Amino acid sequence: MIIDGKALASEMEAETIARVEKLAAIGRRPGLATIIVGENPASAMYVRIKHSACDRVGIRSQTVRLPEEARIEVILETIKGLNEKDDVNGILLQLPLPRGRDPAPAMAAIDPAKDVDGFHPLNMGTLLAGAERLVPCTPKGIIWALERLGVDLEGKEAVIVGHSNVVGKPLAAMMLNRNATVTVCHVFTKDLAAHTRKAEVLVVAAGVPGLIRGDMVRTGAYVFDVGINRVGDRTVGDVEFDEVLVVAAAVTPVPGGVGPLTVSMLMSQTATAAEMQMSSEER
């Protein structure tokens, strides 16, 4: 089976629309602010995609553009201003920043209650403690999709290829929170295939085109391909899709798989942030 990320994302957006309209009815329509530094064409495209999703679900969106040469102090001051705005419920710092700007201080400067990307150290720590609030969108989208597909992670053998702070590490924590047995593989892992063949749920986020072949996948596994790689004029994933489709119970295509889930989860988390902030004010 091919996992239709676009169809699942549409289901998630329908749920988010209902939540947004409920907030709007009491004068609390959620707002998302995106900071983009410089003129990176890929970043500009991603921002357009995210703001188009905002339009679909009824979230107010704004873009704060800073010049390529903007110092980290300027970025931090911009974040501080957005933290203080009541009509901004979510803040997104589009990465990567221009060369020479460390994103870590900027990510840590975002109000954790407005950190819809889920990268603030407080939100990461809360995730590791087992109490998920705002968490990284790609892993959360994968968890949501598994739930929609009726896959109960409890007791499952889950293998993640890639240990980034964006996908691998937070996804491992989310799966552990759901009582899966989790193996995380990376560039230093010996005999990768020996691990991936055990996986009932396999998530690949390594950034290596065609890394996972059909003979590396367990029969009946659920496979999520997070890789986005340009090979010639094509966009391909980290999984040899045609080979794995024959073996797996289900696999995500690239494009059209995990990507739409990530964007829709960003919308959902912006609504969550607005709901959390309203609840905090009422206490």
Interhelix angle 41-57/5-24, rounded to 10 degrees, is 60
Alpha carbon of residue 257 to chain centroid: 12
Alpha carbon of residue 93 to chain centroid: 14
Structure tokens at 190: 């010996």
- Bridge partners of 65, per DSSP, are 36
- Kindly list the catalytic residues: 50, 94, 117
CA gap 171, 155 in Å, rounded: 16
**Residue reference for tokens 């087992």:** 130
Contact by Cβ (8 Å): 18, 12: no
